[in-house]
Amino acid sequence: MARPGQDRRPAAGAQVPGLAARQAALRLLDAVLRRGLPLEAALSAATAALAREEDRGLARAIASEVLRRLPDLDAAIDGATPRPLPADAKARFALRIALVQALVLRTPPHAAIATVLPLVDGGPRRLVHGVFGAVMRGGVRLAEPPHFPAAVAERWTRAWGAAAVEAARQGLAGRPPLDLTLAAPDAEAPAGTALLPGHVRLAESGDVATLPGYEAGAWWVQDLAASLPARLLGAGPGEALDLCAAPGGKTLQLAAAGWTVTAVELAAERLARLEANCARTGLSARLVAADVLRWAPPAPVDALLLDAPCSASGIYRRHPDVLHRVRPAAIKALAETQAAMLARAAAWVKPGGRLVYAVCSLEPEEGEAIAAGAAALGLATLPVTAAELPAGLAPDGRGWLRVPPGALAEQGGCDGFFVARFAKT
């Protein structure tokens, strides 16, 4: 590794190999951390200039790994600077990208810094070079498992306790397992562990399209916790509404369980994914592109699933960007939308019919607080029972299901969720 002061710049105009992928990683981090966009939503614009799939993958891997390890990377940077760099300083972004490569992604240190220095050309090159060298010479090792951002750790400790938050850190350490939901109990599927009937868990994900049963549409990828809301609605026959339905894991479950499903979704491109998923699995649903806050069904239904748009803080293992984007003001605004959706949905269920409310959120404001308003809408809790859940999960004292951070850690973990089931009175 070149020492600080030995800054060997390529000739003006020369392109450093691998630079374009790091520039794209910087754009991705800027989109998430400065503009609050989801990583997935920023991907196509941030990587548009990259011709090779390999480079797009590298840019995404660097950005994801920075987001997974951000507090620990920043602690290493702050430990090597006399005065902390501002949170949004380009030098800090460049150092995060260089250090995550050298310390996590096994990029040789000289290559990690050489591909990052051009990001700060005309700016604090010497500083970035010097801090990188100091961290590497200091033999810093990043915490394993990684730490949550302080605001998230505080929020979740207040809601779910320190032990749950500590267990949840494991979810940031490695790749989560891959969960499959089977279209039928005897569907063709790869060998794995079943934590519930109709479920298979694989330790490795790899290319899902090559796994047995994929071509035949015998299963779809869906986290174990995400499969619980549709399971808890029970089996048809009857008319079921799936509100906020795309990409459609729960629509497919409802169709496979014998319901005649109408799936309602606002985002046209996401509805197209739902349509493709129906085509691959041979399961059918009536698809409606509409805003649940404006649309209404022609007649009340027997069963309704509302998987409301939410902070998605429960999916932090696969999408660590949520840890940095979700702020109290956004949670409050989402909770208002969720309450408005539940109020409309409650009116669309026949007396005696069932309604399941679900969010992949670890924020009580989006879960328990919304369910607490259901009684005023003519919805009586139909308590979830332990027998309906995988071993290790249990309903709370009100008969609702809270899947807290760190749940099922010993079995490989699962997404954080809230699910409540009601009967229309």
Ligand X SMILES: C[S@@+](CC[C@H](N)C(=O)[O-])C[C@H]1O[C@@H](n2cnc3c(N)ncnc32)[C@H](O)[C@@H]1O
Closest CA to 305 of 271, 272, 257: 257
Sole window of 24-32, 46-54, 232-240, 290-298 interacting with ligand X (rule: CB under 6 A): 290-298
State how beta strands 260-265 and 239-243 pair: parallel
307 binds ligand X per the rule CB under 6 A: yes
Q: Which residue number, 248 or 406, has a Cβ lying nearer to ligand X? A: 248
Residue nearest to ligand X according to CB distances in the complex: 244
Q: Judged by CB under 6 A, does residue 293 bind ligand X?
A: yes
For ligand X, the binding residue among 244, 331, 362, 384 (CB under 6 A) is 244
User: Does 248 interact with ligand X (rule: CB under 6 A)?
Assistant: yes
Q: Which one-letter amino acid corresponds to residue 44?
A: S
Q: Which of 130, 309, 373, 383 binds ligand X (CB under 6 A)?
A: 309
Of 122-130, 199-207, 245-253, 344-352: span binding ligand X (CB under 6 A): 245-253
Does position 250 interact with ligand X (CB under 6 A)? The reply is yes
Query: Distance between terminal CA atoms of the chain?
Result: 71
Distance CA 189, CA 366 (A): 35
How many residues contact ligand X, by CB under 6 A?
A: 18
Which of 76, 245, 345, 408 is the binder for ligand X (CB under 6 A)?
245
Q: Given CA atoms 390, 391, 393, 395 in this order, what sign does their dihedral have?
A: positive
> Around Cβ 380, how many Cβ atoms within 10 Å?
10
Quote the least distance from Cβ 307 to ligand X, whole Å: 4
Q: Site for ligand X (CB under 6 A): which residue of 118, 198, 247, 413?
A: 247
| CB nearer to ligand X: pick between 239 and 242 | 242
Binding site per annotation, positions for S-adenosyl-L-methionine = 244-250, 265, 291, 307
Shortest Å distance, C-beta 359 to ligand X: 7
Indicate which single residue of 147, 270, 280, 350 sits in contact with ligand X (rule: CB under 6 A).
270
Hey, which residues are catalytic here? 360
Q: Does 265 bind ligand X (CB under 6 A)?
A: yes
Select from 267, 339, 343, 382 the one that contacts ligand X (CB under 6 A): 267
- Return the residue of 291, 298, 299, 352 that touches ligand X, per CB under 6 A: 291
Interface with ligand X, residue 249, by CB under 6 A: yes
1 burial (CB, 10 Å; 0-12 / 13-18 / 19+) is middle
Q: How far is the CB of 252 from ligand X (least distance, A)?
A: 8
292 lies in the binding site for ligand X (CB under 6 A): yes
Q: Which of residues 328-387 bind ligand X (CB under 6 A)?
A: 360
Nearer to ligand X, 74 or 321 (CB): 321
Q: Cα dist. 199→186, 209, 259 in Å?
A: 11, 18, 19
Which range touches ligand X (CB under 6 A), out of 3-11, 93-101, 103-111, 260-268? 260-268
59 binds ligand X (CB under 6 A): no
Q: Which stretch binds ligand X (CB under 6 A): 45-53, 60-68, 286-294, 393-401?
A: 286-294
Applying CB under 6 A, the residues found at the interface with ligand X are 244-250, 264-267, 270, 291-293, 307, 309, 360
